[in-house]
Structure 1
Amino acid sequence: MDIEEVRQRMRQAQRAETSVPICLRGDLVAEWEDLNRQLQERQKQPRDSLDDDGGMHLAERMQALSDEMRDATVTLRFRAMPRRDWFAKLAKHPPRDGNQFDKALGLNQDAFFEDVIPRCLVEPELDAAELAELLDVLSGAQYQAITNAVWGINGSEVSVPFSPIASRMTASSDATSRQQPEQASPSAGGTGGNRKKSRSTSTTKKAG
């Protein structure tokens, strides 16, 4: 890689980002999980299939709940802070005496994340009161998903993501394209030439 290419990539650089989907209807999540447990119990019972009325009813209700949960979900997008700002926040919130969780992480977790979450949130654009209201309705697990995301983009190495499913799908698509026969170009009273179909290649660019 020559220096000009390095400079070009530096000009295009952006801080790491990640997103966290949060369903705001905990009642729907609880019902879906309950139905899922029931469906799993039915699978353990000796029967040829789950296509009976009871199993189908559970599956249909779970699908309906999934649609409702999707409509009740907001996606929070976070961006890493500038490195110096992040380290300044780490130093600003030392661990509380006698708190083993703080000691393990090396900081006052409550004060630290209350400080950095608003700094990292880029979408949706919420004011301080709206963000506080949103965080207050979250479960402990949902709040932890946010803190893990914020910690991950700021304090962990950012690598190129890999999706095995996407890789298999694109590999299968490429193989299918290579297997397709070349088409003859008919010509009245002349010689038919062969024209190869061009195959477009899709590339996935990681957001910086």
Structure 2
Amino acid sequence: MAIEAVKKAKLPEKVVPVCLDASAIEAYREAEQEAARAAADSLGGKITVPEELATAVEAATIRFTMRGLPRKQWTELLKSHPPRKDNLEDRKVGFNEDTLYEALVRKCIVDPVPTDEEWEQIDEALTQGEWTRLVTVAQTLNLIGSKLPF
């Protein structure tokens, strides 16, 4: 019966890695490109990316597990961030964009769950691109329905 599926229900999740050391990423990518160039040159031999570069990227990376909210929590979150009357974009989307996204991302992160103080530190280290990725994943987890594989 369908009720058995409800008892086993799992909300959608996604792990979002965020590296907080752009220089480590750049050094890794440069080494990767050099290895690719060497592989393309038959006389260049095989060059691999040094393990310490991968270790540096990994050490500076937080892997956030994000989970979609149950429908009722999503609705309550939207209600608690109503659009500002004087803001056309808010009125178009139906919520206060300045406040909803932070609340949404924070509610969707289930592991590790940063304290308010830790979140402030993380927020200071995020680029707009990384922030946009977190927001996009949170929106996707909550607004995109399941697609059955058959």
TM over 0.5: yes
- Going from structure 1 to structure 2, the CA distance change for 1:28 and 1:95 (only over 3 Å counts) comes to farther
Q: Which residue of 2 aligns with 1:60?
A: 49
Give 1:113 deviation, angstroms: 1.0
Structure 1 CA distance for aligned equivalents of residues 16 and 85 of structure 2: 28
Give 1:39 deviation, angstroms: 5.4
With normalisation by structure 1, the TM-score equals 0.58
Q: Which residue of 2 aligns with 1:28?
A: 24
Give 1:83 deviation, angstroms: 1.0
Structure 2 CA distance for aligned equivalents of residues 96 and 28 of structure 1: 44
- Going from structure 1 to structure 2, the CA distance change for 1:66 and 1:119 (only over 3 Å counts) comes to same
- Going from structure 1 to structure 2, the CA distance change for 1:29 and 1:120 (only over 3 Å counts) comes to same
Contact 1:95 1:108 in 2 (8 A): yes
Q: Counterpart of 1:132 in structure 2: which amino acid?
A: E
Q: Counterpart of 2:8 in structure 1: which amino acid?
A: Q
Structure 2 CA distance for aligned equivalents of residues 15 and 87 of structure 1: 16
What secondary structure, in the 3-state scheme, does the structure 1 residue paired with 2:101 have?
Answer: helix
Q: Which residue of 2 aligns with 1:151?
A: 139
> Does structure 1 residue 76 correspond to structure 2 residue 64?
yes
Give 1:153 deviation, angstroms: 0.8
> Does structure 1 residue 94 correspond to structure 2 residue 83?
yes
The equivalent position to 1:136 in structure 2, one of 96, 120, 124, is 124
What secondary structure, in the 3-state scheme, does the structure 2 residue paired with 1:22 have?
Answer: strand
Contact 2:12 2:141 in 1 (8 A): yes
- Give the unaligned 5+ runs of structure 2: none
- Going from structure 1 to structure 2, the CA distance change for 1:11 and 1:139 (only over 3 Å counts) comes to same
Q: Which residue of 2 aligns with 1:49?
A: 42
- Give the unaligned 5+ runs of structure 1: 163-208
Q: Residues 21-74 of structure 1: CA distance to partner in whole angstroms, max 9, x if unpaired?
A: 11122110122234445556x47xxx742635xx73xx434x531232123222
Paired residues in the alignment total 148
Structure 2 CA distance for aligned equivalents of residues 118 and 157 of structure 1: 21
What secondary structure, in the 3-state scheme, does the structure 1 residue paired with 2:49 have?
Answer: helix
Identity of aligned residues (%): 22
